[in-house]
Structure 1
Amino acid sequence: MSATAEAATHLYPLITDLGLILVTAGVAVLLFRKIKQPLVLGYLIAGFLAGNHFDFFPSVTDMHSVEVWAEIGVIFLLFSLGLEFSFKKLVKVGGTASITAVTQITTMLLLGYTVGNLMDWRKMDSIFLGVMLAISSTTIIVKTFEELGVKAQKFAQNVIGALIVQDLLAILMMVLLSTIAVSQQFSGNELLMSVLKLSFFLIIWFVGGIFFVPTLLKRAKNLLTDEMMLIISIALCLLMVTLAANVGFSPALGAFIMGSIIAETTQAEHIEHLVKPVKDLFGAVFFVSVGMLIDPASLAEHWLPIVVLTLLTILGQSLSSTIGALLSGQPLKQSVQTGMSLSQIGEFSFIIATLGMTLKVTSDFLYPVIVAVSAITTFTTPFMVKASVPVSEFLERKLPRKWRKQIERYSANAQSIKSVSNWQIVLRAYFMQVVIHSVIIVAMILLSAQYILPMVEGTRFGRLLAAAGTLIAVAPFLWALSLRRVAVEQVRQLLSERKYRGPIFMMILFRFILTLVYIGFLLDNFFSSQTAFITFVAAIVLYLIFPKKLNAQYHKIENHFLKNFNARDILKDKRRRSDLTPWDGHMSFFDIAKESNIGGKMLKELKLREKFGINIAFIKRGEINIKMPSRNERIFPGDEVCVIGTDQQLKQFQDYLDHHEAAPAEHLAEDDIVLQQIDLTHPEFIGKSIRESQLREKTNGLVVGLERKGKRILNPESHEILEQDDILWIVGDKKLLATLKQ
């Protein structure tokens, strides 16, 4: 009984503290939603008031428990960030975003470190300060863009791309900071080894994750309820968190990697939707806990550094990002808009500050100072975005005409330089071939030597069987490393010129020699030197005897990986374009913008069919789906509409929406709405018009195509009379259409 009482006493502060955090967070949400300010700022202020520094407010009693909740919050924040990340997005952002982000981060790192030294801070404080000032806030910027309605503008896409690059670089810098903090010195060798170690594990985790995770989710899809999907997603996240921690990386890195892996699956949007409430819950706990660590006395004591760092963040981020955008070839106006949008710090700065405290390498005052700077710059972000256009116009008026002409000329030239030489393509392909396959081969050998060999050690043929099994497993990758052809057309063109033949043959020879080195490395881990040499010769002979089988096996593995990697894009294209190929008609999706002046009007008022010849298949309004809306249905701002028509009709409709301030969207159709072909043979429908046949009511759908004796009609009129052997194309409820066909 006493043990139960003791457990209850131990549990009580945990529950009350969590309750206090959530109550303050809830009040902050309501208040800051009302005054239209970022919720993160509300969480910070709520935590500030709920901390131990105010006697007239309830305070938490067990800060250790709060820190545990906060660490869980960081994990889910990074997991959600990974779900939105996707390595394909990183590839698509191109040079513009990369140059902008790298210029900004490099500049702010140097400025932060320099200012820290000028204020006589410790070297480690200055290093962490530079990193914290270098990363802008994705959460704040995206929310600000949505509230100001500028998310569809071109500069906003540049900003989002720069944020994607920043997120990846922030993960890298967290790993490097951990290395520096442990060694307390700037050893170039250690930093290089940390980068190589990170790259090694990133490739292994990503390749292995893409190979196995989408397959697992796909095969279990029919068995998984939303509850089970949520549990499995969180389990995968925590599994990667554990793996990352065991190899010496931060748990946040593991969460981010698993999120980015799941982002490539067909269930990514669904999982993101399921995880969002969990992320919001623990994210709120994290931000409130950050606010709790703000000490008013420390803020009063360090008011001058707060002011200096706030100005440094706003001005430094704006200028460095603007310069980066200009260097990438963006026009002056878009560059200024990009730079002034990135003028704040946010969640990653908190995470890095938490890392410094956890490693006990930063001073106590640095955390509240950074939080204060973040709070101020969060508040100023909307004003900076709004002021970017007037500032750009002012600069265009005041800058010397010669400078403006040079900027315009440079931008035009940069935009026109899109061609990539054959050498660049070949070198990139060879580099990817060597690095990825080398990492896979080395990882498989080391895993086998560490985990499989000890299991068979001591048996008569244990080592031989372990080595043979490992060699068979890595053989397809050894074949791909040495003999697989890449960039075939570009290599052929280069070989046609004599001066390039030598370098090409040297690259091929290097790959073959590297393959032999890995075979020797494998055997050396399992046998003595003499035995390894004999086995090495045998392995080479077998390797050369079965090239076709190795080729087939490798391509089977590669095709499985590519199928998983591209499954989300394939499904998106398939659902986004349900083709009516005889008529060149298809489904497309559009968002009705909040500012659209067609909002609130009935479909019969808009006369979309009469104007453009299109049909609206369904309207998605929040969590409600209005299938096959009637003529009396209204369209409201924020709705998503699924439209059926030809390319030309849909383009006209998009122009119509653009004229009324609407933006196109790329969302997926609902699974229970399908497009099917039906042969009309039942006498019940013959001789009746489409309206009289009540096909709309029977299928909860629309007749969007009619084929009669070779004549095709897209979106036929409702008074069209149905005849024997007509072929109808109907979009509607899957189950009802199946019943109709029967």
Structure 2
Amino acid sequence: MGGAFLAAALLARVGGRIGLPTIPLFILAGILLGPHTPGIVLLSDPHDLEMLSALGLVLLLFYLGLEFHLDDLKSGGRRMALAGGTYLLLNVGAGLGFGFALGWGTSEALVLAGVLGISSSAIVTKVLVDLGRIGNPETKPILGIIVVEDVFLALYLAALQPILSGADSLAAAVLDGGKAFGFLLLLALAARYGTKLVGRLIATRDDELLVISFLGAAVFMAGVSEWFGVADAIGAFMVGLMLGSTTSGERIRKLVHPLRDAFGAIFFFAFGLSIDPGDLTGVLWPVLAAVALTLAMNVLAGLAAARIYGFGPGPAANISTTLLARGEFALILATMAAGAGLDARLSPFIAGYVLLLAVLGPLSAGRSSLLARALPGRTPAPGGV
């Protein structure tokens, strides 16, 4: 683990001098020091970092929840749902069509719909933090789209699981989906009405006790969410959403920073460990086609979201590029597909697709002004000007 931290830090320092984002460098460190490349092998089994990687994802989404205030949900719920729904319609629909066009099978097409359709919450969060855009006006619709995606993700996984496992019981599929939806509804009600109670329970002047309390709450709720068939990160996000609105919210944001950054790096490093570069050559052209399709759909979705919120070309470009990256959810689907015995080309395709967008996403987000110049200038600015 020490080697993983040091390798990630070294590459990030070198990349920072030439303007590269940290995320793909953390992934590259995992590839270079993993079992699939010659030279030094820090870990022969990527699962050795599984718990630490999961903790990194939980903390990234917990921080995202801290930054997404309940007032934003109350005031912009309709526009958030419309922007998120439009994003999903364009990207998931394109992913499904692309999956059928490849001709790998119906189950494979359903998996690819999710792979191409859902942004990486972890990478989106890291990009917003690294670029200092948390306070930007277009960040609210970006986070809103992420929330809609996470809700869709929970229902999508609940529906996909019986298909991949070969279950032929419609009742079982409906039961799993209902359980997941019910738990999501319970979390939403707790976030809406339980904030004051949670704030009183967690309040303390001792930073040590506060760290233990919010970390325990985030990880525990992530585990409970997973037990209910909901993505673990959603539970952590909802805890962050509640705690961010309490009197301790600002202190928690400061205290969680070093934890988020350290274990977030391990999450991306562990992703790199799972990638075998040798498997990527056979799926190179499908990967490039999928990346081009995702770029096009994200530009359209960014323009649509900007029009919904009354933004101009600059914010539209920021929305398009920030949401471009794919990551942790695609890896979950790759694992599910491998366990279900689907087409062997699926796993290397997903690895290549995610790695390429993990590099292009942060790079394009940092240079979104170039895209803004090419977008239609008639997009309405804030206030309808």
Q: Deviations over 1:308-354 (max 9, x none)?
A: 1121121221123214433x2736635753564346124xx323422
Q: 1:157 aligns with which of 137, 142, 147?
A: 137
Is 1:179 aligned to residue 162 of structure 2?
Answer: no
Q: 2:184 aligns with which of 175, 189, 202?
A: 202
Q: Which residue of 1 aligns with 2:293?
A: 312
Q: Deviations over 1:605-638 (max 9, x none)?
A: xxxxxxxxxxxxxxxxxxxxxxxxxxxxxxxxxx
CA RMSD, Structure 1 to Structure 2 (Å)? 3.4
Q: Deviations over 1:642-698 (max 9, x none)?
A: xxxxxxxxxxxxxxxxxxxxxxxxxxxxxxxxxxxxxxxxxxxxxxxxxxxxxxxxx
SS at match of 1:157: coil
TM-aligned CA deviation for residue 188 of structure 1: 8.6
Is 1:283 aligned to residue 264 of structure 2?
Answer: yes
Q: How many Å separate the matches in 2 of 1:105 and 1:44?
A: 26
Q: Is the 8 A contact 1:104 1:320 kept in 2?
A: yes
TM-aligned CA deviation for residue 96 of structure 1: 4.7
Q: 2:248 aligns with which of 267, 272, 281?
A: 267
Q: How does 1:36-47 map to 2 (within 5 A)?
A: 36-47=19-30
Q: Which has a greater percent of strand?
A: 1
Q: Which residue of 2 aligns with 1:249?
A: 230
Q: How does 1:583-594 map to 2 (within 5 A)?
A: none
Q: Which residue of 2 aligns with 1:337?
A: 317
Q: Deviations over 1:480-512 (max 9, x none)?
A: xxxxxxxxxxxxxxxxxxxxxxxxxxxxxxxxx
What 5-or-longer segments of structure 2 have no aligned partner?
Answer: none
TM-aligned CA deviation for residue 273 of structure 1: 1.7
Q: Which residue of 1 aligns with 2:116?
A: 133
Q: 2:100 aligns with which of 117, 140, 144?
A: 117
Q: Which residue of 2 aligns with 1:613?
A: none
Q: Which has a greater percent of helix?
A: 2
* Residue range with higher mean Cα deviation, 181-190 or 356-365: 181-190
Q: How many Å separate the matches in 1 of 2:63 and 2:324?
A: 21
Q: Which has the larger radius of gyration?
A: 1
Q: How many Å separate the matches in 2 of 1:379 and 1:167?
A: 16
Q: 2:351 aligns with which of 368, 374, 384?
A: 368
Give, as a single letter, the amino acid of the residue that structure 2 aligns with 1:35.
I
Give, as a single letter, the amino acid of the residue that structure 1 aligns with 2:317.
Q
What 5-or-longer segments of structure 1 have no aligned partner?
Answer: 1-17, 397-403, 417-742
Q: Which residue of 1 aligns with 2:328?
A: 350
Q: 1:321 aligns with which of 302, 314, 317?
A: 302
Query: Structure 2 vs 1, CA of residues 379 and 260 (structure 1 numbering), >3 Å: closer, same or farther?
Result: closer
Is 1:301 aligned to residue 312 of structure 2?
Answer: no
Query: Structure 2 vs 1, CA of residues 331 and 234 (structure 1 numbering), >3 Å: closer, same or farther?
Result: closer
Give, as a single letter, the amino acid of the residue that structure 2 aligns with 1:200.
G
Q: Is the 8 A contact 1:131 1:173 kept in 2?
A: no
Q: Which residue of 2 aligns with 1:100?
A: 83
Give, as a single letter, the amino acid of the residue that structure 2 aligns with 1:130.
A
Q: How many Å separate the matches in 2 of 1:146 and 1:248?
A: 29
Q: Deviations over 1:465-485 (max 9, x none)?
A: xxxxxxxxxxxxxxxxxxxxx
Q: How does 1:524-673 map to 2 (within 5 A)?
A: none
Q: How does 1:435-584 map to 2 (within 5 A)?
A: none
Query: Structure 2 vs 1, CA of residues 74 and 148 (structure 1 numbering), >3 Å: closer, same or farther?
Result: closer
Q: How many Å separate the matches in 2 of 1:368 and 1:293?
A: 8
Q: How many Å separate the matches in 1 of 2:170 and 2:370?
A: 42
Is 1:236 aligned to residue 217 of structure 2?
Answer: yes
SS at match of 1:53: coil
Number of positions where the alignment pairs a residue of Structure 1 with one of Structure 2: 377
Give, as a single letter, the amino acid of the residue that structure 1 aligns with 2:313.
K
Give, as a single letter, the amino acid of the residue that structure 1 aligns with 2:295.
I
Q: Which residue of 2 aligns with 1:378?
A: 361
SS at match of 1:175: helix
Q: Deviations over 1:580-618 (max 9, x none)?
A: xxxxxxxxxxxxxxxxxxxxxxxxxxxxxxxxxxxxxxx
Q: How many Å separate the matches in 2 of 1:301 and 1:330?
A: 44
Give, as a single letter, the amino acid of the residue that structure 2 aligns with 1:44.
I
Q: Is the 8 A contact 2:321 2:361 kept in 1?
A: no
TM-score (norm 1): 0.46
Q: Which residue of 2 aligns with 1:28?
A: 11
Larger RCO, structures 1/2 (Cα 8 Å, 6+ apart): 2
